[in-house]
Amino acid sequence: MNLYINGRFLTQKISGVQRFAREISKRILEISPHGLPAHILAPPGAAACPADGLPARSCGRLRGQAWEQAELPWHARDGMLVNLGNTAPLLAPLAGQAQIVVVHDAGVFSYPQAYSAKFRLWNRGMLHALRHTRTHFVTVSEFSRRELQARLRLPDDGVSVITEGADHILSLTPDRTILARHDITPRRFVLAVGNLAPHKNLRGLSLLARSLAALDIDLVVTGGLNRTVFSESDREQSLPQPAKYIGRVDDTELRALYEAALCFVFPSFYEGFGLPPIEAMACGCPVAASAIPSLEEVCGPAAAYFDPADPADIERRVMAVVEDPLRRGRMRDAGGIHVAGFTWDRAARQLLDIVGRHAPVASSQPLFAGQH
């Protein structure tokens, strides 16, 4: 049997989901046993410039959702298809093929205002349709597992959980020129990372931004807005003021920002996992995050927490970190210990275990026993 990875993510801009897909795919190609060859199938053009050196096989003639729904199942018909980016073809399981889909959260149900109507309608319908097929759901936190089970009425064994990793950020050389280019002084700024979608709650940082400015400390915000996914919102209202908005940055620049920041603030109303706080901890940056179930699960005791709906609480909790160097030191130490278990190798082995349990093979034993 072959293992096929849906490589549509290679045509998309990098965000948390695409980062997950790239890192998991790299590790699967490295550790997949000889008895189960792994291949990345991608739309035309994606394989010409494979991201991160991923060897993708270009197939079909279509692109985007049309390629994923109409052509991908045909090219993966002799194996198990793994979909890493929230969507999967409906034809594959309807034709009797087994597949796995990683759905990172239930945001289209639980926080619909963050998404465009078109995106929300398609994804809700697709997920409901997939639950009636030979598709096994995987997600990235116990919080998201409970949400998906409730929203899609899945059985207890209908959703598996794997972790994510943060070690990719440590494999990169930090590009510290980002600081000079944007006139950012090390240890004189607080960092916020996130696309400009409503559920990221960047506007909740305005009170904090004013308090920081009074101490001559910047609030630095990175990120962009994908209008094909997220709903239109007033950009001026979505951004905290005053703040230094520097747009999208690459991973080498992001590592430099994490390492130079006084602390990292993550005010989201809703997350399925929350990769940036774990990245920040890996880089030795203290983290202050929303007191929501997914972030409390993922960040554990290593972060400071605040009520994301209360700007005064955000300001109070973050300033307590900013103004206390001893506390920041303790948080850096706690974060380093906590994040050690978040590796992409571990995540890939967990996913391969799940593939082994759901692959259509004539065996009562998992193909990848002991991969954890």
Please tell me the predicted confidence (pLDDT) of residue 35: 66
Sign of CA dihedral 41, 46, 47, 51: negative
Please tell me the predicted confidence (pLDDT) of residue 93: 63
Instruction: In whole angstroms, give the CA distance from residue 289 to residue 328.
Output: 14
Q: What is the pLDDT of residues 155-202, one digit of tens each?
A: 989 999 999 999 999 999 999 999 999 999 999 999 999 777 888 999
Q: What contacts 311, CB < 8 A, 6 or more positions away?
A: 204, 205, 206, 207, 208
Domains of the chain: residue spans and CATH: 2-165+343-358 (3.40.50.2000), 167-339 (3.40.50.2000)
Please tell me the predicted confidence (pLDDT) of residue 80: 92
Say whether 372 sits in a helix, a strand or coil: coil
pLDDT band at 145 (very low <50, low <70, confident <90, very high): very high
Of all residues in the chain, the percent with pLDDT exceeding 90 is 76
Query: How far, in whole angstroms, is CA 324 from its chain's centroid?
Result: 30
Q: What is the pLDDT of residues 78-129, one digit of tens each?
A: 889 999 999 999 987 666 688 999 999 999 999 998 888 999 999 999 999 9
For the chain, the straight-line distance linking the first and the last C-alpha, in angstroms and rounded, comes to 22
DSSP 242: S
Structure tokens at 63: 């692109």
pLDDT band at 134 (very low <50, low <70, confident <90, very high): confident
**pTM, to two decimals:** 0.91
Query: How far, in whole angstroms, is CA 18 from its chain's centroid?
Result: 7
pLDDT at 37 over 90: no
Please tell me the predicted confidence (pLDDT) of residue 268: 96
- Average pLDDT estimate for 58-62: 93
Please tell me the predicted confidence (pLDDT) of residue 94: 62
Give the chain's mean pLDDT. 90
Strand order, beta sheet including 189-193: 244-247, 218-222, 189-193, 263-266, 287-290, 304-306
